[in-house]
Amino acid sequence: MKSITDKAEVSVDFPDKTYMGAFGRESSFDVKVEVDEVLLRLIRTGGERREIAGHPHCYLLADLLKEIGQSLTSQEPLDDASAGLTISPQDAWSGWVS
């Protein structure tokens, strides 16, 4: 498990109910690469324990990372620290999916 350095907010909408949760610096995350998918988990411990897990398959994850990379390159950096954190989606993904 690794600490979350920023935050994540998630929601799941069903026809008759919505579930929402926030995961901040007191939370952690886990990523495991499996044969044909990736397991992504966010876990908040303490008083209101919450956990969310997602299992995107490899090509969906590749498409998501590509779109995130394209969106990030089309806007200004969030702050000075993030200005140097550039990597192309192809570089991030190369070698994993052939």
pLDDT along the chain (98 residues), means of 10: 91 95 92 90 89 92 85 73 59 54
- Tell me what pLDDT residue 84 has: 60
Q: What is the dihedral of CA 93, 25, 5, 41, to 10 degrees?
A: -10
Report domain extents, the chain: 2-93
Quote the pLDDT of residue 91: 63
pLDDT value, residue 56: 92
- What are the angstrom distances between the C-alpha of 97 and each of 69, 71, 94? 17, 22, 7
* pLDDT for position 67: 87
